[in-house]
Structure 1
Amino acid sequence: MNRSGKLWQEYRTKLRAFIRSRVSDETISDDILQDVFLKMHTGLVSLKDETKLKSWLYQIARNAIIDYFRSQKPTVELADQLPHPEIEPNEKTAQELSECLEPMIQLLPENYRDAIILSEIKGLTQKEVAKSQGISLSGAKSRVQRGRALLKTMLSDCCQLEFDHSGRLCDYERKDGVCGAC
């Protein structure tokens, strides 16, 4: 009897029980067991440490079980037109205020404005901002932080901001006649 046959005899019952404890359908669990031994047979030459044979076989079995369940995930056909999700009040408030921020960004000094546009609007990292502006990383960080601070001051001069217990913006109210930016 060859090596694969001996391993089949030694581990077949234990692996079948292992697979059956996770997959209730006997036919499918037997198919998975066959798949495990096929993978064992083809991959046995690559096993370098014989002492890890048992754990290697059980890992193959675990992966085969996972593959089976992944393949069983139902697919759902999507409608041609998906409904737009309702915007939560916090998101709506943030969206409204973001429209005010655009003109405020234009009022920033050029070096802060450029740093804010690159980092906050275009999504560049501060390292990329530094490279594009030809300044050091600490210089880029300073410009972004100072730009943010100036925007925060402008916004708080324009509007009364209200935050929830976790510090997220939940509401705002414009201060009459103060804001000329938005």
Structure 2
Amino acid sequence: MKQNTTELWIRFADSLRRFIHSKVKNDVLTDDLLQETFIRIHSKIDTLQDDTRVQSWVYQIARNIIYDHFRKSNPESIAEMPEVEDAKHEQDEAMTNTVRDMVLLMEDLPEQDCQALCRVEFEGMSIREFAEKTGISYTAAKSRVARARNKLSDLLMNCCHYEFDRYGTVISYHPIKCCCCHQQ
């Protein structure tokens, strides 16, 4: 589904306003930065490659606008703004942990399923290429990859409790039982 700026405004304007205000603590500046955020969203919407990641894309643009504002207005004030870098660091750390957990849990999958996920998800091989390299039909390869994704999803859901926003994006997660994915 291709996104448009009006839909994104309806979906994110209020939460972005609160997010920006929490960083700049000024109503007029908040509105200016919100407007600038949506101008950039509008001009860059064609660069959005994955509609399922639209929320993180929108918030990253807002973070960049806030960061640019502080950098332009007073380069020393960036040091006073650790929450922008902290938010990026937390997002990067959560992504790193999730990928690490998935890789560890993949060891519990049957060899064929693990191989299918590794080739398609991590090595970037298309399903058609995977089918050719393994000597199976395209339909069989598609089924194998889908089955492997479902099995991995089940393993993750049995290991952790996930909290989702109303759009299905993971907000947070925590272990519900001891499993290998949370060992350091």
- TM-score after normalising by structure 1: 0.49
Q: Which has the higher contact order (CA 8 A, sep 6+)?
A: 1
Structure number with greater Rg is: 1
- Structure 1 or 2: more helix by fraction: 2
